[in-house]
């Protein structure tokens, strides 16, 4: 899917200006110095070299005639003394309805093997956040149809939510399910931005979204793992430019999914290191906070529409004190922490209900009933967590009858919060479920009231709404051990 050449279609995105020619004076991997005699290019200007096969972006001006650039394409074959051409404009990407159902790279080049029209608007990837006066202060819930998310850590329309977790705990699967639900139930536009993605993941996502019938209202951009850090660093800005068009010009709600925001920080760290900047804490770039803010603050809710962003955040070594995780936390209105332990127990989605949180979970935003149910669920799960050590040492029989009720209901809540996804039907042979917030709250209330204490735990595993329990109890064999035989 990657490309080492700038396509003709992308060249046409830059208006013809008087040619400002320079000469390559130094090449150090992805860092290239270029000297100009006539006029020095502005910061962020695009420069072409080696017959327009190598694309550079200006990151600093070293003197009145010399600029330092970061390569957005591989620099094989580039040598000192070669001519370089200043395009007089920053990196641009196409915007508009013609981009729907297509897959692009950072240059706005279609990488899905199909022809792409060139007579559509192109916009710079560098934009300022919307003015404060234009940001809407109305707070609304963004309903995902995923029980544990809507009940315990509701997402904000126009807000930013983070999916925190290590490798292999289900971040990408959760993102693809949210894309499916956004397109099928919210009638909005989804934009998927893959930063540092494997080419296999990009191809699989494209095929799965096409089979699910949601590709017509979706745009995909990829800065692949094998591409230079400059390309991976800019693909997030390119995706936001496309999202801003649908929000501001088309007045639509946009779901922007970024997988993985840590790779954006990592690419910035590589660029910083190549530029020779002094590293900060744990080797990260000193400008980490500024670079992340420049991206995150463009995601906002305006009177015209909202960009709701859900971002997967890889946590290095599952360490939540890592600077990348800490800086990302500060921008989020909701945090969904994925647990490796829950994933190993088969509790999918493997969201940890006690570590996950949302700033919307207050009575004046989500209502007294929703807030009360969420607090009761968290309380009973926290009590169960405290009792696990006692159960491991002394056994369930040594608990009081009240504590045994806590364990019984907590384990049934854990299984009720599992859910079959539409995007995993081919792996699980189970039909996906979209569960409304009202159905989720009703199910939690009935479990908390003890209505399902006599049902086996397996009857609540991988179901949709709570009324499926009766049917499930008749047809399912016990896929997870019952509380009477094992409590962990």
| C-alpha span between 162 and 333 (Å, rounded) | 8
Of the residues 80, 97, 198, 369, which is catalytic? 198
Q: Which residues contact 228 (CB under 8 A, 6 or more apart)?
A: 30, 70, 71, 72, 73, 74, 75
Instruction: Measure CA 8 to chain center.
Output: 31
198 is catalytic: yes
Given a contact cutoff of 8 angstroms between Cβ atoms, the answer to whether 202 and 224 are in contact is yes
* Catalytic (active site) residue 210: no
Tell me whether residue 197 is one of the annotated catalytic residues: yes
Residue 372 CB partners (closer than 8 Å, separation 6+):
none
Catalytic residue among 171, 247, 411, 412: 171
The one catalytic residue in 57, 143, 177, 197 is 197
- Alpha carbons 383 and 396: distance in angstroms, whole number: 14
CA separation for the pair 86, 14 (Å, rounded): 11
Cis preceding linkage at 485, omega within 30: no
Q: Rounded CA gap, 195 and 235, in Å? A: 7
Give Cα separations from 308 to 117, 159, 179, 261, 355 (angstroms). 28, 5, 12, 15, 22
Catalytic machinery residues: 171, 197-198
């Amino acid at each position: 899917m990657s490309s080492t050449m700038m396509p003709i279609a992308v060249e046409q995105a830059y208006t013809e200006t008087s040619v400002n020619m320079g000469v390559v004076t130094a090449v150090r991997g992805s860092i290239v110095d270029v000297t100009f005699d006539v006029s020095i290019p502005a910061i962020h200007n695009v420069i072409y070299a080696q017959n327009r096969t190598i694309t550079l972006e200006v990151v600093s001006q070293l003197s009145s005639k010399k600029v330092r650039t970061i390569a957005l394409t591989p620099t094989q074959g580039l040598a000192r003394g070669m001519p370089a051409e200043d395009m007089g404009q920053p990196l641009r990407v196409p915007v508009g309805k013609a981009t729907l159902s297509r897959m692009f790279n950072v240059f706005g080049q279609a990488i899905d093997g199909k022809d792409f029209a060139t007579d559509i608007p192109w916009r710079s990837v560098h934009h300022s956040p919307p003015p404060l006066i234009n940001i809407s202060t109305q707070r609304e819930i963004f309903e995902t149809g995923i029980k544990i998310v809507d009940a315990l850590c509701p997402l904000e329309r126009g807000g930013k939510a983070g999916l925190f977790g290590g490798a292999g705990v289900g971040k990408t699967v959760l993102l693809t399910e949210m894309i499916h639900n956004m397109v099928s139930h919210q009638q909005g536009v989804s934009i998927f931005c893959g930063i540092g993605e494997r080419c296999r993941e990009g191809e699989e996502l494209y095929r799965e979204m096409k089979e699910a019938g949601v590709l017509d209202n979706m745009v995909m951009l990829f800065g692949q793992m094998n591409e230079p850090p400059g390309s991976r660093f800019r693909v997030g800005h390119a995706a936001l430019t496309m999202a801003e068009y649908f929000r501001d010009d088309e007045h639509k709600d946009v779901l922007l999914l970024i997988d993985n925001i840590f790779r954006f920080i990592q690419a910035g760290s590589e660029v910083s290191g190549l530029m020779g900047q002094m590293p900060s804490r744990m080797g990260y770039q000193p400008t980490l906070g500024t670079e992340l803010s420049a991206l995150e603050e463009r995601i906002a809710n305006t009177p015209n529409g909202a960009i709701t962003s859900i971002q997967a955040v890889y946590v290095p070594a599952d360490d939540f004190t890592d600077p990348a995780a800490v800086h990302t936390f500060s921008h989020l209105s909701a945090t969904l922490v994925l647990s490796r332990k829950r994933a190993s127990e088969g509790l999918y989605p493997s969201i940890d209900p006690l570590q996950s949180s949302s700033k919307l979970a207050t009575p004046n935003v989500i209502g007294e009933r929703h807030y009360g149910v969420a607090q009761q669920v968290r309380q009973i799960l926290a009590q169960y967590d405290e009792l696990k050590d006692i159960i491991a040492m002394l056994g369930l029989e040594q608990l009081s009858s009240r504590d045994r009720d806590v364990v019984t209901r907590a384990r049934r809540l854990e299984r009720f919060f599992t859910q079959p996804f539409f995007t995993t039907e081919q792996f699980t042979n189970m039909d996906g479920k979209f569960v409304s917030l009202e159905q989720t709250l009703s199910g939690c209330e009935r479990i908390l009231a003890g209505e399902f204490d006599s049902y086996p735990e397996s009857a609540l595993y991988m179901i949709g709404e709570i009324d499926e329990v009766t049917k499930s109890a008749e047809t399912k064999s016990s896929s997870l051990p019952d509380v009477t035989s094992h409590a962990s």
